Amino acid sequence: MMMRVPEAFAAIMATVRDFGTEWVPFEAATGRVLRETIYADRPFPPFDRVTMDGISIHYDSYVRGQRVFGLEDVQAAGMPQMQLRNLADCMEVMTGAVLPDLTDTVIPYEHLDISEHEGFRRFTILKEVAKGQFIHRTGSDAQEGKPLLEPGIRLSAAEAGVLATVGKTKVLVSKLPRVVLIATGNELVPVENKPEAHQLRMSNVYSLAAALQGISAEIVHLPDDMQHLTAHINKLIPAADVLICTGAVSAGKYDHLPEVLKTAGMQEIFHKVQQRPGKPLLFGAFNNGPVVFGLPGNPVSGFMCYYRYIQPWLKACLQDVSSKPEFAVLEEDVTFDKPLEYYLPVKLKSSPEGVVLATPAAYHGSGDLASLLQADAFMALPADQDVFRKGSSFPVWKFR
């Protein structure tokens, strides 16, 4: 049955399931969804850390009027903490070093005059000094035991550094689903083949495979033949958590996929949505088996359906908390007089005021794959309007 977009989306999200968790080396965790809390294993930073190359002094000596300091020693980064023996002297310190004991203030080289007499260095302070300056204090970023990373975030380069800092060599992440991408159609040939005039190279499944962003997928090509489809679909069902099919879901003579899937045991949840492009979208599920997304064969239709439905579903299954609606302001008037939610390819840019603007991209229908090269997103224009005015704000579904 045909559904409105909100109902179709709700029906899909009602099937969200947890694929489980697994431990992976932290070096391989980038892009994965965290499933445990990461705590500081010691204070951040773990010692009073020098933040500028220069000297460290005992501030009371400066308060008493002393401006010239003799050098006792050098405290470099990576050295155990040293101690100032004479409070009238100073220690030369390097960025990242432990602040020497009995010193409490750092003066950078830029604020000093440096001289040498009979082999002894002297440092004359040229600028006003504030007590405690240029020191990154112990625990000022985080105390030991503080939660640093929470479950549900997608790990990036910043999180990799934190994992390394706390010595988290293995990390618990969401297990990735087993995905099978099925391309249907007698007109399709492998990418490496030269197509005849009546043929096309497979492309939709490769766009979808790239859009999965780190989830590997098995790619299968099946012809428009009932027996062939039935035999192969039955073999693929036990090996998949998600079946994503492209083509053979509309009302054509050779669009056998809905019947084949239902015969194999799929419960059809809906078939067709009140939207353009992507109206023939099919969604269903097998008991104790995979969910099925049957996408239209036109490339823009399938591409849009992935970002509008499949990607949010996958993020929810992986417990990724980062998925939130985004909005942009339309830069041109647009007219669409069908009672369907309309997905308009747009190019996004930011105005000097920080507003995200959406310019409609040149678009010649759902078969116009090249139009995606000129767009960053689809703008969702609601079905209860015909005219969409410049300056109005609508949701966008980014794919770049």
Each residue's pLDDT expressed in tens, for the chain with a length of 400 residues: 689 999 999 999 999 999 999 999 999 999 999 999 999 999 999 999 999 999 999 999 999 999 999 999 999 999 999 999 999 999 999 999 999 999 999 999 999 999 988 788 999 999 999 999 999 999 999 999 999 999 999 999 999 999 999 999 999 999 999 999 999 988 888 888 998 899 888 888 999 999 998 899 999 998 888 888 899 999 999 999 999 999 878 777 767 898 989 999 999 999 999 999 999 999 999 999 999 999 998 888 999 999 999 999 999 999 999 877 799 999 999 999 999 999 999 999 999 999 999 999 988 777 777 778 889 999 999 999 999 999 999 999 999 8
Strands 377-381 and 393-398: antiparallel
d(C-alpha 353, C-alpha 362), whole Å:
26
Can you tell me the distance from the alpha carbon of 393 to that of 400, in angstroms, rounded to the nearest whole number?
20
Please give the pLDDT value at position 191.
86
Residue 224 main-chain phi, psi, to 5 deg: -80, 70
Q: Which residues contact 210 (CB under 8 A, 6 or more apart)?
A: none
Q: What is the pLDDT of residue 107?
A: 98
- The span from the CA of 115 to the CA of 124, in Å, is 8
Q: How far apart are the first and last CA of the chain?
A: 32
Q: CB–CB of 381/395 below 8 Å?
A: no
String of b and e for 93-127 (b: at least 16 CB within 10 Å)? Answer: bebebbbbeebbbbbbeebbeeeeeeeeeebebee
Q: How many CB atoms lie within 10 A of CB 173?
A: 24
What three-state secondary structure class fits 395? strand
Three-state secondary-structure class, residue 313: helix
CA atoms within a 13 Å half-sphere pointing along the CA-CB vector of 300: 26
**pTM reported for the whole predicted model:** 0.89
Q: How far apart are CA 230 and CA 242, in angstroms?
A: 17
Q: Phi, psi at residue 223, to the nearest 5°?
A: -75, 170
Distance separating alpha carbons of residues 281 and 224, to the nearest angstrom: 18
Which H or E element spans position 160? helix 157-165
259-to-184, 226, 255, 330, 334 alpha-carbon distances in Å = 14, 9, 9, 41, 38
Q: What is the pLDDT of residues 283-338, one digit of tens each?
A: 999 999 999 999 998 888 999 999 999 999 999 999 999 877 799 999 999 999 99
DSSP label of 307: I
Radius of gyration of the chain (CA): 31
The one-letter amino acid code at 25 reads P
Q: For position 324, what pLDDT does the model report?
A: 77
- Residue 307's pLDDT is what? 95
DSSP string, 16-29: -----EEEEEGGG-
Q: Give the H or E element holding residue 323.
A: none
pLDDT single digits (tens) 186-238 = 888 888 899 889 988 888 899 999 999 889 999 999 888 888 889 999 999 99
Contacts of 251 (CB under 8 A, 6+ apart): 280
- If we measure between CA atoms, which residue out of 198, 255, 245 comes closest to residue 219? 245
The span from the CA of 51 to the CA of 108, in Å, is 9
Q: What is the pLDDT of residue 1?
A: 66
Give, for 70, the enclosing helix (H) or strand (E): strand 68-75
CB atoms within 10 A of CB 53: 16
The DSSP 8-state label assigned to residue 3 in this structure reads B
For residues 10 and 286, is the Cβ–Cβ distance under 8 A? Answer: no
